[in-house]
Chain A
Amino acid sequence: MSAVSEGIERARRGVGAGGSGRTTPRRRRRPTGGGLTLLLFALPSLILLLLINLYPLVYAAMQSVRSGNLINLGPFVGLANYRNVLTDPDFWHSALFTLIFTVTGVFGSWAVGLALAMLLRGKVPAGGVFKVLLLLPWVVPVVVSATSWNWLVATPQSPLPEFFSLLGFDNVLFLSDPTLAKIVVCVFKVWISFPFMMMMMSSALTAVDVNVYEAAKVDGATGWQSFRSITMPLISRSTYISWILMTIFCVNDFPTIYLLTGGGPTNATTSLVVLAYRTVFQDFQTGPGVAIAFLMTAVLVIVSVVLYRQIAKVNIE
């Protein structure tokens, strides 16, 4: 390890020049006698929560193994709905778009949010005003945002097609071309999500002691080295949490897509949640629709567990 990187590592751990860097081991809490009383106090709420969450979950699970509709559960069909869904090309097409949408949404909004959070961390004139203005895409209802974006791109007379026309690109079909529609929907998602990431990253950055940077500077670290070896590791916990949350937001995001494109053109922007909605409420096939929702949930749980393990790893380090 070079002297510089060793210095950065010590700085990151908040260890002075002569310090050992060891941390005091935490003592495990033992359950006390009052624990049972506390559990009993929480029991009514727990029962209520189970009733509220468990009943719909069990009912949905029953729907997913039956061939029914919105009114009747219908006959038991075993795992046929899952098999049909998993062998349907439309499902895999939607799964691929969901992946693209989620990856772009998570990392795009995180990158923009982090950049803005770092920018606004320093002394910026009217920084508070900027922060409030930057929060607007997150605060404004999606219906309003989607209408605004539709106005921005939908017709040849809309501002963006007009602008591209001035650049020599005539009749750019932002929402009518399948590829462009995908891009527009993903960019829209980044736009409405970056303020959330900015807030998460801002709060993470405020917890980083500026003295650590001073120490790294003394040790000769460049700006990029400080960012990579100090900022990133120190905000990694918040980063993983924000990724988990944004992944859940993106996978479950219905209005952003549905209001802007309705899943079209020709299913190009149909994500799994949109496909589930259309299957249940437009095709009136609750079994396959709910099966799609359960498959989505399974994937989300796996992704969340992987990311949570990363958080646990960060905590241990």
Chain B
Amino acid sequence: MAAPNPRPALSRRGFLGFAGAAGIATAGVLTGCNRAASTGGSSGGEKPLKFWNMPWGNTQFTTLDKKITTSYKPASGLNPASYQTIQWANFTQTFASAVASNTGPAVSSGGGTQAFQFEAQGKIAYADDLLNSWKSNGLYDDFLPGLIDTMKVDKGYAAIPYNLDMRVLWYNTKLLDQAGVEPPKTWDDFDKVCAALKQKGIYGYGTMAGAGAYTGSHTLVSWMINNGGGLFNAGHEPEMVTDVNIEAINFVLDCVKKGYVDPHSVSYTSDNAQSQWKAHKFGMGFDTAGLANNIGGTVGPELTIGSPLTSPSGKKGALYFPNNIMMYTNTPNQKSSEAFLTYYYKNMAPLWTSNTGIGLPPLKSITEKTGFRKDKNAVKAIEEWQPISKTWAAPGSNSLFLGVTTVDGTPAMDTFTQSILGGKVTAKQALSTLQDTVAKAIKAQG
């Protein structure tokens, strides 16, 4: 008796049909998802507009910021707002991939030069109408002097100033007292204070230029601006090999040679530099306006922001970063983006008066609040440093533009800074290399 011929549970023909159907179904799901993502941006109605903000301060900042955002009650027909924190780690990729795929935010903060990059790619909704509307409600005039202009590009305002970041001179009052010197007012004073601190085994030019630490490069540009120089001319072209810049960089090289700069600074991260402040190894140096709060403990209260130095050219100046909030063309409704920002700017003051660790405020009214004025260092930064500070675009202009993205945290600037702090180059040589590299990068931007 022949054994029965077992039939397969699924024939080849049946399997092919099943596989084909599954493939079509999968494709349908995928295209469905794609359709939902691409059309969502223009659906309007009650769909929340996405507000992405960076963790500008401590955990309290995020909690408070989210509360401010979600408390927003839009007028009839306008969209509410949803809140999302974007971590600093890989934030460039996060924004770029989201914006490229039209899944990004309608409103966001981000890197200081991010708006200018997206503006060049046609992804930014200009803030001109919004700023015009603020002229009637007092918000426009509330901005600190010169701030709004830093956001102006050829076609309009790419963003709105938000959280100011400055590079200011800090010193440890206790260590300067021990060294028997007064806080510096000029470059010569700075040299003398450094020499006195060196006698005590303390570095007078505290800085950092390691992985992810850009303060070192910011400080070098600050020295140039302080001497009346900078990186770009009025035509937005790199013009770095100038007498004032060479003089500034030579001064830094001199500090390196004299041993005022910790030779390990070349590789210091932000944490390393802070540990040196805490260990009383840094007696003076440049950092953000929030250094004392970040250091905390017993050393934090010893730290004070000094006055801006007067350079040999008789000028004063420093580099600052008007971080900003931008609106994107990918929004459920542009009017909703603008209405939300009007609400946000009117209600964001607690972020600067509740010890959230954020930088400095862009609005005069916030700087006048008691909560803000409790921090003497922050007040000094706003009153003495903000008025003399300039952007990456200095000395040619103060308005930011796409080209500044070639110097903001780029490998070219890292290499320049590390070579200067390493002390084995000449000022002219290093500036020439930087200028050539930046010119090439700007050309590549098209």
Interface positions of A (Cβ within 8 A of B): 36-37, 40-41, 43-44, 47, 67, 69-72, 74, 150, 154-157, 171, 173, 175-176, 181, 258-267, 270, 278, 281-285
Cβ A266 vs Cβ B422 within 8 A? yes
Tell whether B29 is near chain A: CB-to-CB under 8 Å.
no
Contact of B266 among A47, A70, A264, A285 (CB under 8 A): A264
Sorted nearest first, the 10 A-B pairs with minimum C-beta distance are: A262-B211, A175-B267, A70-B96, A176-B266, A265-B418, A176-B267, A71-B121, A278-B411, A265-B266, A266-B418
Cβ A258 vs Cβ B121 within 8 A? no
Tell whether B405 is near chain A: CB-to-CB under 8 Å.
yes
Cβ A283 vs Cβ B100 within 8 A? no
Cβ B12 vs Cβ A284 within 8 A? no
Stretch in contact with the other chain, from B55-63, B223-231, B269-277, B295-303 = B269-277
**Which residues in B have their C-beta under 8 angstroms from that of A74?**
446
Query: Chain B 402-446, CB within 8 Å of chain A: the 1/0 string?
Result: 000110011110110011001000000000000000000100111
Cβ B15 vs Cβ A41 within 8 A? yes
| Identity of the chain B residue whose Cβ is nearest the Cβ of A69 in the assembled complex | B121
| A271 CB, min distance to chain B CBs, angstroms | 13
Contact of B264 among A156, A264, A282 (CB under 8 A): A156
**Which residues in A have their C-beta under 8 angstroms from that of B267?**
154, 173, 175-176, 181, 261, 264-265
Tell whether B5 is near chain A: CB-to-CB under 8 Å.
no
Interface of chain B, helix or strand or loop or mixed?
A: helix
- Bound-state CA distance A259–B213 (Å) is 12
Cβ B19 vs Cβ A40 within 8 A? yes
**Which residues in A have their C-beta under 8 angstroms from that of B92?**
70, 281-282
Tell whether B99 is near chain A: CB-to-CB under 8 Å.
yes
**Which residues in B have their C-beta under 8 angstroms from that of A176?**
263-267, 422
Contact of A173 among B22, B97, B121, B263 (CB under 8 A): B263
Cβ B12 vs Cβ A37 within 8 A? yes
Cβ A72 vs Cβ B121 within 8 A? yes
Interface size on B, residues (CB 8 A): 51
Cβ A175 vs Cβ B210 within 8 A? yes
Tell whether B16 is near chain A: CB-to-CB under 8 Å.
yes
| B81 CB, min distance to chain A CBs, angstroms | 24
Cβ B117 vs Cβ A284 within 8 A? yes
**Which residues in B have their C-beta under 8 angstroms from that of A281?**
90, 92-93
Contact of A71 among B15, B96, B269, B414 (CB under 8 A): B96
Query: Chain B 239-274, CB within 8 Å of chain A: the 1/0 string?
Result: 000000000000000000000001111111101100
Q: List 23 A-B contacts (CB under 8 A).
A: A37-B15, A44-B19, A70-B93, A70-B100, A71-B121, A150-B272, A155-B272, A171-B263, A173-B263, A173-B266, A175-B210, A175-B264, A176-B264, A261-B211, A262-B210, A262-B212, A265-B418, A266-B422, A281-B93, A282-B409, A283-B411, A283-B412, A284-B117
Tell whether B77 is near chain A: CB-to-CB under 8 Å.
no
- Bound-state CA distance A260–B211 (Å) is 7
| A168 CB, min distance to chain B CBs, angstroms | 18
Tell whether B279 is near chain A: CB-to-CB under 8 Å.
yes
Best-surrounded residue of B23, B99, B411 (most CB of chain A within 10 A): B411
- Bound-state CA distance A164–B412 (Å) is 33
**Which residues in A have their C-beta under 8 angstroms from that of B212?**
262
- Knowing A40-B15, A40-B16, A156-B264, the reply to whether A264 touches B22 (Cβ < 8 A) is no
- Bound-state CA distance A263–B304 (Å) is 33
* Contacts of B72-102 to chain A: CB distance below 8 A: 90, 92-93, 96-97, 99-100
**Which residues in A have their C-beta under 8 angstroms from that of B12?**
36-37, 40
**Which residues in B have their C-beta under 8 angstroms from that of A67?**
444, 446
| B107 CB, min distance to chain A CBs, angstroms | 18
| B33 CB, min distance to chain A CBs, angstroms | 14
**Which residues in B have their C-beta under 8 angstroms from that of A72?**
121
* Contacts of B103-158 to chain A: CB distance below 8 A: 117-118, 121, 123
Using A154-B210, A261-B210, A281-B92 as known contacts, list a sample of 20 further A-B pairs with CB atoms less than 8 Å apart, ordered by residue number in A: A40-B12, A41-B15, A44-B22, A70-B92, A72-B121, A74-B446, A154-B268, A155-B268, A155-B272, A173-B264, A175-B210, A175-B266, A175-B267, A176-B263, A176-B266, A261-B211, A264-B209, A264-B211, A278-B411, A281-B93
Cβ A264 vs Cβ B414 within 8 A? yes
Cβ A283 vs Cβ B410 within 8 A? yes
| Identity of the chain A residue whose Cβ is nearest the Cβ of B90 in the assembled complex | A281
Cβ B415 vs Cβ A282 within 8 A? no
| B214 CB, min distance to chain A CBs, angstroms | 10
- Bound-state CA distance A155–B412 (Å) is 25
- Bound-state CA distance A278–B271 (Å) is 22
| Identity of the chain A residue whose Cβ is nearest the Cβ of B101 in the assembled complex | A71
| A209 CB, min distance to chain B CBs, angstroms | 43
| A241 CB, min distance to chain B CBs, angstroms | 32
**Which residues in A have their C-beta under 8 angstroms from that of B271?**
150
- Bound-state CA distance A44–B267 (Å) is 50
Cβ B264 vs Cβ A154 within 8 A? yes
- Bound-state CA distance A260–B268 (Å) is 10
- Bound-state CA distance A36–B263 (Å) is 67
Cβ B266 vs Cβ A283 within 8 A? no
Cβ A264 vs Cβ B418 within 8 A? yes
| B38 CB, min distance to chain A CBs, angstroms | 15
- Bound-state CA distance A171–B444 (Å) is 41
- Knowing A71-B100, A283-B406, A284-B117, the reply to whether A259 touches B211 (Cβ < 8 A) is yes
- Bound-state CA distance A36–B12 (Å) is 9
Best-surrounded residue of A70, A74, A261, A278 (most CB of chain B within 10 A): A70
Query: Chain B 1-39, CB within 8 Å of chain A: the 1/0 string?
Result: 000000010001001100100110000000000000000
Cβ A267 vs Cβ B15 within 8 A? no
Cβ B15 vs Cβ A155 within 8 A? no
- Bound-state CA distance A262–B267 (Å) is 9
